[in-house]
Structures are given as structure tokens and as C-alpha cells.
Amino acid sequence: MKKEVKIIFHVDLNAFFATCALNVNPHLKNKIFVVGGSKTSRKGVISSASYKARKLKINSGMSIVDALAIYPKLEIVETDFLLYNKYSNDFFSFLKKYSDKILKGSIDEAYMDVSRLAKKVHPLKIAKEIQTNLNKIYKLPCSIGIAPTLFLAKMASDMKKPLGITIMRKKDVEEKLFPISIRNLYGIGSKTYPFLERAKIMNIGDFVNIANKEKILEILKEETYNDFLDHIYGRSSDIVDPDKYSIPKSISNEKTFSYNVDNASLILEESKKILLIIHQRLVNEDLLAKGLTIKLKSANFRVITRSRQINDYSDSYEVFENLLEELFFDKYNNEVIRLIGVGFINIIPLKNYKLDYNLFNYQKFLK
């Protein structure tokens, strides 16, 4: 029996934070602006650059200082996650009209399995309709990749921005994917890329070339290498699982001080403020956590994380406040730090806990 080919979309909102800022701030329309950093201190890094800023080679990840050196009149817009979440919710609700198999890739990208609808309507027509309506109704421009696997759809959506639609069948891989720079292979980041570059693995075609296998295996584990090959050739078996990220695995929040500090009581005070924020989220979302992690970034950017678990799941602020103090006093060594972070780990939904707990008692009752 012939295995049915899936039709997967990867829908990627273009310059998402910048688009949201523009939608609520029409005066930005003719400005060269970026989202991120701090407006007052003019420090930090860019989260999203408007397309006009990108033309000047101002990109996300770049420091505000560097961007201002390129264009001193640059408009800086502070991040507003409430706003982005509102647009993101609209985005995902809209997509649900086309499929119930939707996986949240991030705040601004979605994988959809449209195999069922594609039996009646041509995939390209579906994609065009989604793209047009997202732009018309919500003023959210997007690029869409169409492919038989999640990975290829993701690579495809990246190829034409903004407002692109790219089809990547297995038979298109050699022509469309092989020329792409290895730096743009999803999963190769800033640490691995320089090693590959030094080994003269410049594009995806070089990567899959069997003659380069030995060189690559000096850089990547064999398993990782094989996984990449499977992804590139469309052999990956990932599915669009709507439940995959429905429950967060961790909830964290962190803060970079405006100046470096080594005052233990001040740091503890700030970390408790952070705990309050993440605890609010834990309770609002009906979740329980079993552990806490703290993160300290020293003045020279060394990061340490320290975590500890408790005996039972909890959502009590007091329990985690005690745990936080315990961790902090055990682990903080009076180093000068620039950032403090606090996070819940090992999270489950409250309703699952009740279920397990009742079952547990029921079994005891039977004995």
C-alpha cells in the first residue's frame, strides 16, 4: 500500500513584533524603527527590526548601540508582550478554521496539517487564502511553506519573505534546498557553524555530499548527522501534534539590572519579585510545579543555574519562597552579577495531579 503524502504548512508571521508595533502605532509607518532594548537607556538588543531597518543591515540580535551607530535617528520601540499575545491568539484562532491539527512553533509561527482539506482544495489555493485574509483582517503579513514534512515546510517558509509562498516537494529538495547556506539549516547555530565553515561545508548540498561525511563526523555525532540527513531528504516522521506544547515544561522570568550588583539582599529581593510574577502565571494557568531554578549571569557573562526540587507538586507561594531562599543562600557566592532569573521546572496541570492523587488513595483504600 502506498503511504499517503501529508500536506504540511508552516505559517510564519513576518517581522512579527515590528508588525504589531506598527499596527497600533501608525506614525511608525514612515519611520525606520526596531523593537527591543530599552528606550530610555538606549541599551540592550533588538528583538525585531522593521523591513526599512533591515535594508540598512540592522537585524534582530544586534545591540541597540551598534544599530544607532548605523542610523542615529533610529526609532526604538519597547517590547510589549501583552500586545504580541493578543495578535498571536488571533493568528492561531484564525488558522483553526482550516485544520484542527495545529502545532504552535512559537509565538509567531504555526505548523498545520492540511492533508484533509487538501483533498478538496488545492494546497496553493488554501495557502493564498490564509495569507490574504491574515493580512486583510488582522494586518499580519506572513510567509508560508508547503511540504510533506514539518522540517521541509519550515525551511520553505523561510525562503521568500515577506508574503512568500514556497512549495517544497521531496523532488524539489536538490534544486531548492541544496544551495541554501549551512548557517540557515534549522538546528545549526552560532557554535557549530564556524566548525562547518572551516571544514568547507558551505551549503546544504555540501552537507549531504557523502564525500564530506567523515569531515562532518568530526564535528557532529553520527546520530545528529543522520537526523539532519533524514530531515533534509524529507524522511523525518514528526507529526503535527496539537498537544505537544499545550502544557509548558517551565515558566521563567529574568531581569538584567541597569547596573551590576553584589548586594545579596537586593538580589534576593528582586528574585522574589520575579517569583511573584511567575507564580501568578502558574496559578492563572492551573498548574503545579515541583522545582525551582535560579539563574545568575555574572558581570563577565558567565551563566550559572542552580535548581532544587521539593517532595511534592505545589502552587503555594510560601513553599517556593522558602525554596528560593534556601537555594539562594546555599548557592550565591557574592559574585558581581548583571542578571537574575527564577523559573519553575517540572510542571504538571492541576487536574492531572488530582487524578493521580485520587487514584493513589483509591489504591490504598483497596488494600
Nearest alpha-carbon partner for 23 in 89, 83, 93: 83
Residue 14 to residues 53, 141, 154, 279, 327, Cα–Cα distance (Å): 14, 6, 14, 32, 41
Nearer to DNA, 18 or 118 (CB): 18
Residues 23, 63, 135, 236: which binds DNA (CB under 7 A)? Answer: 63
When asked if residue 239 is in the footprint of DNA (CB under 7 A), the reply is no
What is the 8-class DSSP label of residue 237? Answer: -
Name which of residues 324 to 363 contact DNA (CB under 7 A). 331, 338-339, 341, 343, 346
Nearer to DNA, 301 or 365 (CB): 301
When asked if residue 72 is in the footprint of DNA (CB under 7 A), the reply is no
Residues 168, 188, 287, 288: which binds DNA (CB under 7 A)? Answer: 188
Shortest separation between residue 116's beta carbon and DNA, angstroms: 25
When asked if residue 298 is in the footprint of DNA (CB under 7 A), the reply is no
Residues 31, 44, 68, 159: which binds DNA (CB under 7 A)? Answer: 44
When asked if residue 218 is in the footprint of DNA (CB under 7 A), the reply is no
Nearest alpha-carbon partner for 168 in 192, 138, 204, 221: 204
Residues 259, 301, 362, 365: which binds DNA (CB under 7 A)? Answer: 301
When asked if residue 248 is in the footprint of DNA (CB under 7 A), the reply is yes
Neighbours of 290 (CB within 10 A): 15
Nearer to DNA, 186 or 329 (CB): 186
For residues 209 and 182, give the distance between their C-alpha atoms in angstroms, rounded to a whole number: 13
| Residue matched to cell numbers 488571533 | 90
Cβ-in-10-Å burial (0-12, 13-18, 19+) of 57 comes to exposed
Nearest alpha-carbon partner for 344 in 305, 307, 303, 304: 307
**Contact map string, positions 86 to 105, toward DNA, x by CB under 7 A:** -------------------x
